[in-house]
A and B are shown apart, each in its own frame.
Chain A
């Protein structure tokens, strides 16, 4: 091993393909699905599903495992790196679309991180079936966001039927509708619901349950109207005496005096935070490229290499934006490289998310500011990217909760020592 920034060939090839998808299938209808919230872009979904099946990997946030060719030299794994590059490029096209790319999403990521071999085999195979299939993660509740210990959803084992009985209210479920509602064109999806099996145990009692689409007692109660990412459905889901087979619990069904249950959720986040960061940076890159293109059209040059005090204000801004964007992307790469190489990356993962949340927000804000009416007009996509960008600093842990995670890591503090 030595320090190396050469993009692996398979990633370069994939980027080229996806860029054309982004340009031809996403950008061309971005505006339409932003203005018609909750409309479903079937064409994109079906195209992506077919394309990904033919490439041998369902979408979602679980890395594809490369099957080494016989006799070939064993290469270090790049599954997460490839995934990050894929997500960045799709989000460059349209982050709302990216979020409804068929596949397991956060639901499958939870199964991947906290499930046993049997569960992985049972729940993850479906994403390669004929019809596009979705899965979603249900963590947030009206009274519990980043403070997951405040989750009130409850799962009680009915020993007579050997089923878990779940009650609770979940909100902000990305892809919740497509994962749970039984659309004819979609395969059978699932949602992963976080609930407590022992409220007296706090976080140690928290478990995730796979709830199949259409399960009785479970209802989509609302689809949110949002600032951005409007092509992506964000559902509220209520569970009233919802029954789930015993074997659908991810992790240990009994509570020990440890926090392993919650660690399952956190392990999921270590894997997914850099991917969410990658998505935001795709939006930021779109905005920065649009800005540079418009400046060039208007004869404004960026003179790299000049001392700071000789630069114009616009040049300074663009250079700062590039520094922010490039460095944030490298932080994502490092975090996913660590994930691929099985190095613990809780710190790097949260750092990349902190940075991407800041950068995505700042770059899109600044681009709108510099371009004035061109930035603000709905004739162009920049104003949409500004609205889309903001979610990066909010979902998968706000910038603030991620700062807390980073701070605890660098200071060596527990949650009790640094609240």
Chain B
């Protein structure tokens, strides 16, 4: 039976996250970006909303079940406030959710209660690599079996909070397939860059590079491993949802600006040239939102084509975010190009969705 209405619990979560995004993340976004600094207090407040906690079963210290649909709703709301802030709040999920999805019972017992039961702490994951044809299914970082454990070699980029992380999942190529490996904080052979990554947007989010030289690690899911397709799809849906949030933010700013700004004696929103741009932005956002929800629903219901749907949702949403955030700047005109105004940051962040992956998971 079709339905497009979030359930009561989801609606409560949307409302709570929406409030935090609007009242806390949004006002802090500009300074956080300019100063390369996200206050821990801000992140902790988001953590206390309990999204990850509510996605973790009671036996592992949480109080609910994971749902990609709920995740999609929450991530969009949070990214509407600020992408960097949202990704920071959700960073522990990068570690905890793959363990929930593919970890062995022992791994779940070992890590989950500590993460969901405590304050926000930087547990993270490393997926991306510095290569123009980066492909999550054909990684250059390698893992080799060595007795009962595994040895990793390679380089990783864009790893959020790596410097302070208690533990991280490193994705590597194991006999031709991608698998996650749990690497502890002080693992021998793990080198983390001193300098933070410098990228076009997301400057508030501290991200680092890793070098792995014969790092010993344990495999996610133990000896039999896990289904990386599930994890990748959950990453794709998170990416699509974050793109929706960023696009919605740019759309809202542009819409409000167009209703204030006057030219030729009327508000510019009263000109069809602007009004039609806004109509198309809203239509495109709604289209990709539904595609993302459907993919998330398929993932939750183990549908055969869930992975293809997640891929389509991510691809479509990345294009949508580019189109919408570009138009956001365009509608502001010259003012859109000035960093005092919010839309240029949204364009820089919006551009990232075509290549950034593994920075969020639902």
Interface residues of A (CB under 8 A from B): 1-8, 75-76, 78, 81, 304-310, 319-320, 322-323, 326-328, 330-331, 333-334, 337-338, 348, 351, 354-355, 400, 403-404, 406-408, 410-411, 413, 417-419
* B293:A304 contact, CB within 8 angstroms: no
* A5:B297 contact, CB within 8 angstroms: yes
Which chain A residue shows the least CB distance to B72?
Answer: A3
* B283:A404 contact, CB within 8 angstroms: no
CB of B26 to closest CB in A, whole Å: 20
Q: Does B312 contact A (CB under 8 A)?
A: yes
* A418:B269 contact, CB within 8 angstroms: yes
Return the contact of B316 from the options A307, A323, A419 (Cβ within 8 A). Answer: A323
* A411:B3 contact, CB within 8 angstroms: no
A338 and B290 alpha carbons, distance in the complex (Å) = 14
Which residues does chain A contribute within 8 Å of B255, judged by CB atoms? 410-411
Q: Does B291 contact A (CB under 8 A)?
A: yes
CB of A362 to closest CB in B, whole Å: 13
Which residues does chain A contribute within 8 Å of B297, judged by CB atoms? 3-5
**Would A306 and B286 be within 8 Å (CB), given that A4-B297, A410-B255 are in contact?**
no
Taking each of A1, A327, A419, which has the highest tally of chain B beta carbons within 10 Å of its own beta carbon? A327
Q: Apart from A81-B2, A323-B312, what 8 extra A-B contacts exist at CB < 8 Å?
A: A4-B1, A305-B311, A330-B290, A333-B290, A351-B283, A354-B280, A407-B275, A411-B255
CB of A163 to closest CB in B, whole Å: 43
A330 and B293 alpha carbons, distance in the complex (Å) = 10
Which chain A residue shows the least CB distance to B308?
Answer: A304
Taking each of A6, A8, A408, which has the highest tally of chain B beta carbons within 10 Å of its own beta carbon? A6
Which chain A residue shows the least CB distance to B258?
Answer: A411
CB of A348 to closest CB in B, whole Å: 8
Which residues does chain B contribute within 8 Å of A78, judged by CB atoms? 1-2
Which residues does chain A contribute within 8 Å of B311, judged by CB atoms? 304-305
Which residues does chain B contribute within 8 Å of A1, judged by CB atoms? 3, 5, 7
Q: Does B287 contact A (CB under 8 A)?
A: yes
Which residues does chain B contribute within 8 Å of A308, judged by CB atoms? 315, 354
* B275:A411 contact, CB within 8 angstroms: yes
Which residues does chain A contribute within 8 Å of B269, judged by CB atoms? 411, 413, 418
10 tightest Cβ-Cβ pairs between the two chains A and B = A330-B290, A407-B275, A2-B7, A323-B316, A327-B287, A406-B279, A407-B279, A1-B5, A327-B291, A4-B3
* B291:A5 contact, CB within 8 angstroms: no
Q: Does B10 contact A (CB under 8 A)?
A: yes
Which residues does chain A contribute within 8 Å of B6, judged by CB atoms? 2-3
Return the contact of B282 from the options A8, A306, A334, A406 (Cβ within 8 A). Answer: A406
Taking each of B280, B307, B308, B354, which has the highest tally of chain A beta carbons within 10 Å of its own beta carbon? B280
Which residues does chain A contribute within 8 Å of B2, judged by CB atoms? 4-8, 78, 81, 333, 337
A227 and B7 alpha carbons, distance in the complex (Å) = 47
* B315:A323 contact, CB within 8 angstroms: yes
